[in-house]
Amino acid sequence: MIERMVWIPVIIALICLGKQVAVLGKRLRAVERENEELRTAACTERKTATVPEAVQVPEPESAPVPSKAATTAVPPMVPQVEAGVPPETVAVIMAAVTACGYVPTAIRAVRHTRRRSKKWIIAGRIARMR
């Protein structure tokens, strides 16, 4: 008798869960139908959209003369590259810096690092052993 009483709440929970799954299935099908309708509407809009004609801007009668300060361009900052570093490596470093949201001119120099202290090597090895 006690065993039956234990299973009754489990069976009721499974029945409720089955009903919830059915309701969610109906909602999912409705959302899929709406999504398909929106996609077809977007495709037809793209096909029927016309490209506007190019607008021509009239040229001014007299073009302004640029000042001397405007004609003097500031040369871009190029990082100092140590001999032996391939240009592909510099390009990858600059791309990574740009991808992180910084300006590529933030790189001042690209050079090989020299291991000055073996303490950091030993610390790294000990950290991996933990």
Flag whether 65 is in a domain: no
Per the structure, the count of domains in the chain is 2
41 and 80 fall within a common domain: no
Q: How confident is the model over 29-39, as pLDDT tens digits?
A: 999 999 899 88
Greater confidence (60 vs 126) lies with 126
Question: Taking residues 21-45, what's their average pLDDT?
Answer: 88
8 Å CB contact between 81 and 109: yes
Flag whether 64 is in a domain: no
Note the pLDDT of residue 31.
92
pTM value > 0.75: no
Flag whether 19 is in a domain: yes
40 and 81 fall within a common domain: no
Flag whether 33 is in a domain: yes
Whole-angstrom distance, CA of residue 117 vs CA of residue 120? 6
Flag whether 10 is in a domain: yes
Flag whether 120 is in a domain: no
Domain span at 83:
76-114
